[in-house]
Structure 1
């Protein structure tokens, strides 16, 4: 158990399939989870079913958004590590994480990648309210 982590520490944290920079604002009573306040996005969550990654023939293809700025997440300490670098501005980090994931998906020729790109474009427009160029080309 990572008992060296304490309140106020800046950390990287994996939540579901996203990776974030945040600040520990507490721990659960058993000391197994940290409550992390999200400050930046390092990796946007993967789209689709977490239990059947890469599959499209699933009951529900989940549209997964990144955790919001200052959102609190209860994260197992095994998924939390100290962070010592500069913390990027949240919206810039979200945009960079989105662009990175979209570039990776464009290089993959699969139905899952195509459906994931569609989900990310919908998130950009409807949830994140980003006015990005249409990249359907």
Structure 2
């Protein structure tokens, strides 16, 4: 199995490529692990709290398939952690970074992450 790192929106994942669509410059990938948890909030108004909808962004699920631009794929030669372990580690890393930020946006993002932690069922 050949693993690649893929970017999808604001998350970063370890994936297996299932199909390549050269005409549209994209690849169908299957998620194996999470390297960076997606950023919370409105992507069109980064780091702002006063937006119409503050998005709660979940990580792609284990074995979820999605199309990503070919330009975002890179070889991955790191350790393949279990999906659940990688999800928890990426969640923890993002939560700690937000703690260091301390802004209103960071606090709102932490609230969204706490809700996601309950959905992810780790603790």
- TM-score band w.r.t. shorter chain: over 0.9
Structure 2 CA distance for aligned equivalents of residues 12 and 81 of structure 1: 5
Structure 1 CA distance for aligned equivalents of residues 32 and 53 of structure 2: 29
Alignment-derived partner of residue 112 in structure 2: 119
After TM superposition, give the deviation of residue 85 of structure 1 in Å.
2.3
Structure 1 CA distance for aligned equivalents of residues 106 and 22 of structure 2: 40
Alignment-derived partner of residue 92 in structure 2: 99
Structure 2 CA distance for aligned equivalents of residues 51 and 27 of structure 1: 29
TM-score (norm: length of structure 1)? 0.86
Give structure 1 regions of 4+ aligned residues with deviation exceeding 2 angstroms: none
Alignment partner of 1:42 out of 35, 39, 45: 35
RMSD over equivalenced CA pairs, Å: 1.2
Specify the structure having the higher radius of gyration (Cα).
Answer: 1
Aligned length: 123
After TM superposition, give the deviation of residue 31 of structure 1 in Å.
4.9
Counterparts of residues 22-41 of structure 1 (less than 5 Å)? 22-28=15-21, 30-41=23-34
Structure 1 CA distance for aligned equivalents of residues 2 and 79 of structure 2: 13
After TM superposition, give the deviation of residue 19 of structure 1 in Å.
0.4
Larger % of helix: which?
2
Counterparts of residues 1-137 of structure 1 (less than 5 Å)? 9-28=2-21, 30-125=23-118, 127-130=119-122, 132=123
